[in-house]
Structure 1
């Protein structure tokens, strides 16, 4: 930990000293005033501003367990097949209708999005049960094609404040949709977003169900890392994003997962210098999680944080990140969400009890070399000092973790079309390797993913 902290500090000092010689990012204070625009006052009408859009995503993943690991497939509760390889290939399509807001002091609008998935690989021995990648039923048989209403809500807006009721998408540090499969998750409930000020936005919401990535029905909330079957009926959240300086953005959020935990989040991002010479971005994320209510997940007292520093010179960005969990449980979050805004959340979340981790990464943006839209990245992360031996509960399977370690490295490339009828279409290929000690939960695995996303406009 001492060496990692020293490395982060040294990079920070070096980057600041060089950035100070560049044309600096403005550090000007931003006074809080009422927003200069009134979104509802600019409403064009329910039909007049309607849009029918969509996207289709071709999602392929090929996993290979190493060091003796195997995926298994069961029929009638009995293992009938095992193999170190698992392949999933799914086409996910979204058709989204969004109306405009009606005119007047109070405007009303609606949004409806149909999600459809087609299993392109239907070999049971490839899918190995599908996990949360391909929807399966009975004895691991794939559902060849299925659809659901992914979004369905009504909205009411006054000035720059919008109330949304129904199935919707959220993206906050304590409750966020996750889109790393063919289709994303969404949430059933009520939320409000207020942007009445120029540099402050306020969000709040209450949700009673999640629509999972690879399921047709709504489900109750559960923990991502639980070792039990506990579920929660409600998630309440609220938060503020505040930009006090042109170079500084801060966030504070709080949530309550009913009878699981209270969770609090604080973050800031600061920009310094000039990326054409040398720019430095500093990002801190901190979560405090404490058990609450009936304590269905047992005793939890967890502090988790990450600090990342990114130095950018034209096409090149180099980052170093340090992350630490202080507590005898995992840093946990709600399943089928992406509510883990931490620097070292990769294929592995690097969130074991008392875990420390360091990541180094490099990004090359080929726009500076005449190929806009093409990017390459490479990273390596290492986790160490994982210790769950002091955990006394039963909700998490961590008691055998004593000095566990693991590492992960990945390479990736993405390309986004800049023009033409397929403009904004993206293709991304990634290859990831993860290796773990005996009792680290993520195991040893290689994974290749190829994901192509094509947006389209219907009207």
Structure 2
């Protein structure tokens, strides 16, 4: 189904306009005032507010390539191929966090140890190292390993916190990603300021990333590039709620010698899900090359628009996404810095690509089973065209190799999932999620044809 961006935008505007009068209260302007309380004034003390806890996650995945696709691995020095790959890892996080000291300037520390225990160590199963299982240079699994995932000091004045060290950070451009047994984290300095009632500011400068499946820190590189590295990422932005029903985010980032990237996101909500609710989401990225242009020439505008309807237990979402640029819409590896609606198993981010998704969800709490949810989706991408790409900047090894072959490429993906969160008892908040995804791409589409079943169980725990 090839829907134009203009048609979807018109649908979003008309839907909002049609319901706005019935939801006049939610359209009230929210004045920006100073925060009513100071978080630092309520500090309990460095030891008094100390906590120790964490999570343990059992992460299992089985993938099968088809239509000629294979994984590679080495056995006795010989490269072998196989259609299947299995990864099974137990990831555990133990996090100790002090409280803030009392006084005008509060001080706090946070330390988290990450541990991975590989449950499937068969070389043929894991197919060498990946961002799923850590392996050595011979392709053998590192059976058990640990590292400091978080290690930072925080300083707080009023409602503004400065964090230095290894930390989590969340924005539309630089965001911790947690879709494996262990999450990523970043090394640097950041701040978060919430001095106003409906307006907050965030920023940071980072020089290293702690990857999901690596013991050491790494320089930053991109998700779709071919190895170029940088040791400085700077970002700054704000979150603002001008209406009770509207939230917006604006961020910019400089990735040294790669690009300058700008992000705008907005979410608008109308109605009551017990009757009918409409949620409109818009995400936009502008990326332009910077400095030494290690990723080549880049001039990329990418956006997504989603319309979600909810009625009691049911939700139905339509999402359109479009890339305007002769290169991939790219983002930093080991981050979740892609808030586009159609970022699924495939990111649907090929050069000049258009894509459309339909998703359905049902919350069984409405039928007496709280915590149980099901979802299904189908997405298609088309008009992928990299034939006009000329942005290698004389550095072929850092260019988007093979992109020039993509001429009218297309692909499709569908998935189904079920999740359950335990509501009470000793295992309260434990979640179990099972998903099955199938992706099929044309000859030169970058994601290929693959099926994956994933089963993930996450158990939180408190020690102190």
Q: TM-score, normalised by structure 2?
A: 0.96
Q: CA contact under 8 A between 1:223 and 1:334: conserved in structure 2?
A: yes
Q: For structure 1, which segment, 378-387 or 17-26, has the greater mean C-alpha deviation from structure 2 after superposition?
A: 17-26
Take 1:207 and 1:277, find their aligned partners in 2: how far apart are those partners? 45
Take 2:2 and 2:66, find their aligned partners in 1: how far apart are those partners? 32
Q: Judging changes above 3 Å, is the alpha-carbon distance between structure 1 residues 362 and 284 closer, same or farther for their aligned structure 2 residues?
A: same
Corresponding residue number in structure 2 for 1:29: 29
Q: Judging changes above 3 Å, is the alpha-carbon distance between structure 1 residues 161 and 68 closer, same or farther for their aligned structure 2 residues?
A: same
Q: 1:312 aligns with which of 299, 306, 310?
A: 310
Q: CA contact under 8 A between 1:410 and 1:431: conserved in structure 2?
A: yes
What secondary structure is seen at the aligned counterpart in 2 of 1:198? Answer: coil
Corresponding residue number in structure 2 for 1:439: 444
Q: Which runs of 5+ in 2 are unaligned?
A: none
Take 1:238 and 1:17, find their aligned partners in 2: how far apart are those partners? 33
1:415 aligns with 2:415: no
Q: CA contact under 8 A between 2:305 and 2:319: conserved in structure 1?
A: yes
Alpha-carbon deviation of 1:24? 6.2
Corresponding residue number in structure 2 for 1:58: 58
1:454 aligns with 2:453: no
Corresponding residue number in structure 2 for 1:429: 434
Take 1:79 and 1:46, find their aligned partners in 2: how far apart are those partners? 56
Q: CA contact under 8 A between 1:25 and 1:273: conserved in structure 2?
A: no
What secondary structure is seen at the aligned counterpart in 1 of 2:327? Answer: coil
Take 1:16 and 1:248, find their aligned partners in 2: how far apart are those partners? 12
Alpha-carbon deviation of 1:165? 0.2
What secondary structure is seen at the aligned counterpart in 2 of 1:210? Answer: strand
Corresponding residue number in structure 1 for 2:354: 356
**Which aligned pairs between 1:383-398 and structure 2 lie closer than 5 A?**
383-392=381-390, 393=392, 394=396, 395-397=399-401, 398=403
Q: TM-score, normalised by structure 1?
A: 0.97
Corresponding residue number in structure 1 for 2:165: 166
Q: CA contact under 8 A between 1:175 and 1:339: conserved in structure 2?
A: yes
Take 1:8 and 1:280, find their aligned partners in 2: how far apart are those partners? 14
Corresponding residue number in structure 2 for 1:403: 408
C-alpha deviations, 1:89-122, integer Å up to 9, x for none?
Answer: 0000000001000000000000000000000001
**Which aligned pairs between 1:331-350 and structure 2 lie closer than 5 A?**
331-350=329-348
Alpha-carbon deviation of 1:267? 1.1
Q: CA contact under 8 A between 1:311 and 1:317: conserved in structure 2?
A: yes
What secondary structure is seen at the aligned counterpart in 1 of 2:8? Answer: helix
Q: Which runs of 5+ in 1 are unaligned?
A: none
Take 1:41 and 1:13, find their aligned partners in 2: how far apart are those partners? 44
Take 2:74 and 2:239, find their aligned partners in 1: how far apart are those partners? 47
Take 2:39 and 2:175, find their aligned partners in 1: how far apart are those partners? 25
Take 2:193 and 2:17, find their aligned partners in 1: how far apart are those partners? 39
What secondary structure is seen at the aligned counterpart in 1 of 2:220? Answer: coil
Corresponding residue number in structure 2 for 1:207: 206
Alpha-carbon deviation of 1:19? 4.3
Q: Judging changes above 3 Å, is the alpha-carbon distance between structure 1 residues 64 and 7 closer, same or farther for their aligned structure 2 residues?
A: farther
Q: Judging changes above 3 Å, is the alpha-carbon distance between structure 1 residues 25 and 94 closer, same or farther for their aligned structure 2 residues?
A: farther
Q: CA contact under 8 A between 2:20 and 2:27: conserved in structure 1?
A: no
What secondary structure is seen at the aligned counterpart in 2 of 1:433? Answer: strand
Take 2:325 and 2:185, find their aligned partners in 1: how far apart are those partners? 30
Take 1:358 and 1:136, find their aligned partners in 2: how far apart are those partners? 37
Take 1:362 and 1:11, find their aligned partners in 2: how far apart are those partners? 19
Alpha-carbon deviation of 1:37? 1.0
Take 2:238 and 2:96, find their aligned partners in 1: how far apart are those partners? 29
Take 1:157 and 1:18, find their aligned partners in 2: how far apart are those partners? 45
Take 1:79 and 1:298, find their aligned partners in 2: how far apart are those partners? 35
Alpha-carbon deviation of 1:8? 3.0
Take 2:357 and 2:4, find their aligned partners in 1: how far apart are those partners? 10
Q: CA contact under 8 A between 2:2 and 2:356: conserved in structure 1?
A: no
**Which aligned pairs between 1:7-406 and structure 2 lie closer than 5 A?**
8=8, 12=12, 15-16=15-16, 19=19, 26-74=26-74, 79-227=78-226, 229-392=227-390, 393=392, 394=396, 395-397=399-401, 398-406=403-411
C-alpha deviations, 1:250-294, integer Å up to 9, x for none?
Answer: 110000111000000011111111111111000100000000000
